[in-house]
Amino acid sequence: MTVAAPPAPTPAAERLALAGVLLTVFLWGANVVALKAVLGVLNAETTNTVRVLIAGTVLVALAVRAHGWPRWDVRTWLTVAGVGLLGNTLFQAFFLTGITLNPAGVAGLVNGLVPVLVLPLGLVLGQRFTRQQGLGVATAFAGLLGLLALTRVPGMSVTPGGLLWLLAAGVVWALYTLFNRPLSARLGTLPFVAFSLVLGSVPYLLYALPHLQFGGAAGAGLPVFAWLGLGFSALGANVVAYLAWAGGAQVLGAARTSVWQALAPVIALALSAALLRERLPASVWGMAAVILIGATVANWPERGRTSGPLHPGRRLQEANEGSPPVQ
């Protein structure tokens, strides 16, 4: 019995899917700038609590409406919660600290580092990567070391500690990414993302509870831009971006969507300069460009890897592709 192949997407469907992917990377880049502005008036605990409550509620509602309540066994629920702990409690704690200690443009480089960090971390799982991917990883790490060296320059706004917090966030996000793909394939992407966000954020919410700034004058005097930034980050960078990226990956394929991910840090750098008036030295822009070039090379689809037996390097590349977790 022969199963008919699905029809090829129409040009109009491809254009719409590409528009969704570009919207996603814009929302990711703008999210860093929005969070930097919000963190100027609210602490990290309050900021992330509001984001999680809004995004988690909407994503769980969408997941249950589309797929019903998950009928997972206890072990699966614990696995989802454990992986969610990496991508939400740990990542958010590290990432928001990194945003506080760095210019928003530099903090946005985390989006470019994750596809690079996935590759060497995959070696722990016994996987290998191709020469092209190795070249991309080496280039990106050279840029990262150059950026770290620039922190020694007097008066530089990028600090060693701040950069290490961002690197730690990138490592945690990369680990989450490695676990994300097999679990999403088995459980469904939307249910996994929704419930890993909610369950994985519980430790963070318990920690944040005594530190919340809402109530009294703190809540009443919150600027309008802070409320807008919180709403944008929760709904735009998480819910809308997730749905747009998932739709784009379904039509265009994972490989064609993943290469656009390196645009998010570029958008963060440009918006931070335009909206937050961040003035980064040309040397920082140069090292950022080296990192993003390396990330693009490491994540660029290779010819001959799209069909047939899966090459070990292709397995690692696929860990970067498809529907990303919420940010």
Question: Distance from CA of residue 217 to its chain's centroid?
Answer: 34
pLDDT at 312: 41
Regarding predicted confidence, which is higher, 30 or 175?
30
Residue 302: left (phi > 0), alpha (psi -120 to 50), or beta?
beta
Average pLDDT taken over every residue of the chain: 83
Q: Domain map of the chain by residue range?
A: 14-212+224-318
- Rounded distance between C-alpha atoms, residue 324 and residue 177, angstroms: 8
Q: Contact 152/283 with Cβ under 8 angstroms?
A: no
pLDDT in tens, 211-223: 988 654 445 567 8
For residue 316, pLDDT beyond 70: no
Q: Most confidently modeled of 55-69, 231-245, 295-309? A: 55-69
Structure tokens at 11: 């040009």
pLDDT at 262: 78
pLDDT in tens, 105-156: 888 888 778 777 877 777 776 667 788 888 888 898 898 888 888 887 777 7
- Rounded distance between C-alpha atoms, residue 304 and residue 130, angstroms: 12
pTM (2 d.p.): 0.82
Phi, psi of 154 (to 5 degrees): -60, 135
> For the chain, where are the alpha helices, taking DSSP H only?
11-38, 44-67, 74-84, 91-101, 104-107, 110-122, 131-150, 160-187, 189-200, 202-208, 217-220, 224-231, 241-252, 254-258, 263-275, 282-299, 312-318
Regarding predicted confidence, which is higher, 125 or 11?
11
Structure tokens at 239: 């819910």
Select from 12, 10, 6, 34 the least CA-distant residue to 227.
34
For residue 6, pLDDT beyond 60: no
List the single range of 60-69, 87-96, 170-179, 303-312 with lowest mean pLDDT. Answer: 303-312
Burial of 294-304, coded b for 16+ CB within 10 Å and e otherwise, reads: bbbbbbebeee
